[in-house]
Amino acid sequence: MTVIVTDTGFGPDTWTAGYGGDTALDLPSDTDPVQLVERLAAQVQMIRIAFPSFADGRGFTIARQLRLSGYKGHIRAYGHVIADQYAMARRSGFDDVEISEELAARQPEAQWLARANWQQNDYQARMRGGSPAAA
Amino acid sequence: MYKYNDFDTAFVTERNAQFRAQVERRIDGSLTEDEFKPLRLMNGLYLQLHAYMLRVAVPYGSLNSAQMNTLALLAEKWDKGYGHFTTRQNIQYNWPKLSDVPDMLDALAEVGMHAIQTSGNTIRNVTSDHFAGAAADELEDPRPVAELIRQWSTDHPEFQFMGRKFKIAVGAATKDRAVLKAHDLAVRIVKNDAGETGYQILVGGGLGRTPMIGKVINDFLPRADLLPYIESVVSVWNQIGRRDNKYKARIKITVHEHGIDDIRARVDARFALIRPTFTGADQDLLAEIKTHFVAPIFRSGGIETYDVAYKADPVFRAWADTNLAEHRHADHAIVTISIKKHGATPGDASAEQMRVMADLAAKFGYDELRISHEQNVILPHVHKSDLPAMHAQLKEHGLGTANIGLISDIIACPGMDYCALATARAIPVAEQIATRFDELKLEHDIGNLQIKISGCINACGHHHVAHIGILGLDRAGVENYQITLGGDATWSAAIGERAGPGFAYDEIVPAVERIVGTYLEIRDNADETFLETFRRVGMAPFKAALYPEAIKKVA
């Protein structure tokens, strides 16, 4: 089981269609966002991007490119994302973060909720007249 | 000088609270050591050879007296009474306790300072011309653009966990005093043929183990396009830059492997997506930032006291000849205070010295100071009539050394005295070279000569772009120093050429002496600098002086 982190804290996974069909994509962190956008099918509603290590920040660029290219569906960060990266993930265009129960136990809900104010203190929003970087 | 607004203050306060919590979460096990490491690094905290090191940002090297006094306070209260000015115009403290660091950051925040992104795989503290706002040869003050880039890069959500660090510099003068061509990305404020001001952008410069000179990726960028363009460059690199080998991760390697034309095409495509997200708020912000950098109202008045002291006092004259630079107002001067006293650690200043410099800036310098990448402190605006009184006070505190641009004005990395990466000592070599040439009383005769020393292949001491570069390596447990000649850190940038086999620790100072002796013998006249002579005659005569045995063998 995994834990889904949103602005309101921990919750269960509500995406029930899995990643085997044609409505969801499960992508590694070295995905080329330019090619991804070119081939993106209209029925895709969920894109999950892997963070094999929290130090691999390529996922932030992939999510942002998806948003800039007009993708309106769900984007999820999956794997080793730490609470300190929650605001970065949200600002880059992710809707939520999927973490293991082990990580959720080590970094409990309060540590993630401490970053739920990601819309505040955001230099990027200031540079862009109020909207977050990925809007 | 930039003053924090409510947004900046709230941001830094929140950030410091987050870091304080991160330290506690490391202690209670919420964060593993691996997870804590990049978080402390992006807040300026390294783990060195003997202790933690805190690197405080001095954005584009500009600060006021209250900020300098706070740097003194940090040195005294939480460190060993001194700080070390760095080649990125920052200051670092070598002995802080982890538990004290959150308090140090709070003290900095009170005067509008921080340590954010002075380390880690982030966009680092932006650097600029240390004579900005005072130099006669600049198109405009580059600091507002540097401040805009500071704000844009701070906590940028896409760029906090990149493959490697990313360094940006901004220049606006005819002369390059910010080593623009050795940066991951350089912004040069220029005018085009139509008389419009814009930006020339270079990418892929860098030193380290694979030195590269930056290449022009965009010759003229309109002003409103700057942030989206830089963002596109960093975004492309964050995606395609290599992550399999940290020594091949910098953008210089990406540019080298893909070619500048391929990178330019990728950047242009991304720019098309990113540009529309900037709707002009950044330009309003830039206009507001510019109001912070309005030049002071320069006082007028005669400069007789200066003329009298210059004629009568040879010590003052020697200092004036080396440490003053031309100001855009003829009755003012740009003063460089040498933090390179002969025999002392280059770039180290005591808390007392910091306070003296802060007081002098408040009294004579319109409350402005600068840190140079050459590890000196600058008072950018001083009326010439105040110079004799100021020089007298500098001398009293060990700050009167007249050696700017001379052989003892050495850049040296901390080397094996502090750094966990170093393979050789750098500071003692710098101290010995400075002491030796001071004894010989030759350095004013030698004239402009830049020696830069790195204690390992990562080249933090900028040895690649030194006139005489020294690289300390470890050869089977013994320090060995390689010499390069002919490097250039300015707009005519060049990577120095290796002279030959390295020298032992006790051979390196005599080797430098032989190089300098050769130069003095073969220069055309006293006005031909070392670099000019090297470019005229090449390596051969210097090689002959360095390796006389090899010549004998051939004969």
Contact (CB<8Å) B269/A34: yes
> Which phi and psi (to 5°) does residue B310 adopt?
-65, -40
pLDDT at B73: 98
Asked, for residue B121, whether it belongs to a domain, the answer is no
Out of B57, B84, B109, pick the residue that ends a domain: B109
Asked, for residue B449, whether it belongs to a domain, the answer is yes
pLDDT at B553: 62
Q: Are B368 and B451 members of one domain?
A: no
Which residues in chain A have their CB less than 8 angstroms from residue B155's CB?
Answer: 121-123
Q: Are B320 and B350 members of one domain?
A: yes
Q: What is the pTM of this model?
A: 0.96
Contact (CB<8Å) A123/B152: yes
Q: Are B308 and B288 members of one domain?
A: no
pLDDT at A135: 44
Instruction: Report the largest interatomic distance among the alpha carbons of chain A, rounded to a whole angstrom.
Output: 40
According to DSSP H, which parts of B275-380 are helical? 281-290, 304-312, 314-323, 351-364
Query: Nearest CB to B277: which of A88, A108, A128?
Result: A128
Whether the CB of A133 is below 8 Å from some CB of chain B: the reply is yes
pLDDT at A49: 98
Asked, for residue B331, whether it belongs to a domain, the answer is yes
Task: Tell me the C-alpha distance between B16 and B19, whole Å.
Answer: 5
Which residues in chain A have their CB less than 8 angstroms from residue B269's CB?
Answer: 34
Ordered by where they begin, the domains of chain A are 25-127 (3.40.50)
pLDDT digits (tens, 9 = 90+) for A12-29: 999 999 999 999 999 999
Q: CATH code at B225?
A: 3.30.413.10
For residue B287, count other CB atoms closer than 10 A to its CB: 10
Contact (CB<8Å) A33/B239: yes
Q: How many CA atoms lie within 13 A of B325 on its CB side?
A: 21
Query: Nearest CB to B38: which of A32, A55, A107?
Result: A55
Query: Nearest CB to A56: which of B29, B152, B161?
Result: B161
Q: Are B147 and B288 members of one domain?
A: yes
pLDDT at A132: 52
Structural domain range at position B467 = 411-554
Q: Are B508 and B455 contacting, i.e. CB atoms less than 8 angstroms apart?
A: no
- Measure in Å the smallest separation between the Cα of A31 and chain B Cα atoms: 9
The two structure tokens encoding residue B277: 């997200």
Out of B109, B130, B155, pick the residue that ends a domain: B109
pLDDT band at A134 (very low <50, low <70, confident <90, very high): very low
Of chain B residues 206-235, which have a CB less than 8 A from chain A?
A: 227, 235
Whether the CB of A62 is below 8 Å from some CB of chain B: the reply is yes
The two structure tokens encoding residue B505: 């620790």
Q: Are B355 and B416 members of one domain?
A: no
Which residues in chain B have their CB less than 8 angstroms from residue A68's CB?
Answer: 273-274, 277
Interhelix angle B351-364/B387-396, rounded to 10 degrees, is 170
pLDDT digits (tens, 9 = 90+) for A73-130: 999 999 999 999 999 999 999 999 999 999 999 999 999 999 999 999 999 999 998 7
Of chain B residues 110-139, which have a CB less than 8 A from chain A?
A: 121
Which residues in chain A have their CB less than 8 angstroms from residue B14's CB?
Answer: 120-121
Contact (CB<8Å) A57/B25: no
Asked, for residue B135, whether it belongs to a domain, the answer is no
Q: Are B487 and B419 members of one domain?
A: yes
pLDDT digits (tens, 9 = 90+) for B239-260: 999 999 999 999 999 999 999 9
Contact (CB<8Å) B151/A127: yes
The two structure tokens encoding residue B351: 């808390």
Asked, for residue B1, whether it belongs to a domain, the answer is no
Asked, for residue B123, whether it belongs to a domain, the answer is no
Out of B86, B109, B132, pick the residue that ends a domain: B109
Per-residue pLDDT tens, chain B, 555 aa: give them: 999 999 999 999 999 999 999 999 999 999 999 999 999 999 999 998 888 999 999 999 999 999 999 999 999 999 999 999 999 999 999 999 999 999 999 999 999 999 999 999 999 999 999 999 999 999 999 999 999 999 999 999 999 999 999 999 999 999 999 999 999 999 999 999 999 999 999 999 999 999 999 999 999 999 999 999 999 999 999 999 999 999 999 999 999 999 999 999 999 999 999 999 999 999 999 999 999 999 999 999 999 999 999 999 999 999 999 999 999 999 999 999 999 999 999 999 999 999 999 999 999 999 999 999 999 999 999 999 999 999 999 999 999 999 999 999 999 999 999 999 999 999 999 999 999 999 999 999 999 999 999 999 999 999 999 999 999 999 999 999 999 999 999 999 999 999 999 999 999 999 999 999 999 999 999 999 999 999 999 999 999 999 998 766 665
Q: Are B180 and B281 members of one domain?
A: yes
Asked, for residue B458, whether it belongs to a domain, the answer is yes
Q: Are B260 and B391 members of one domain?
A: no
Q: Are B201 and B269 members of one domain?
A: yes
Asked, for residue B497, whether it belongs to a domain, the answer is yes
Q: Are B148 and B287 members of one domain?
A: yes
The mean pLDDT of chain A is 94
Q: Are B272 and B313 members of one domain?
A: no
pLDDT at B463: 97
| ipTM, 2 dp | 0.96
Contact (CB<8Å) A34/B38: no
* Count of domains for chain B: 4
Q: Which residues of B204-241 are buried (b: 16+ CB within 10 A; e: fewer)?
A: bbbbbeebbbbbebbebbeebbbbbbbbbbbbbbbbbb
pLDDT at A131: 58
Instruction: Summarize chain A as % helix, strand, coil (round to 5).
Output: 35, 20, 45
Q: Are B418 and B392 members of one domain?
A: no
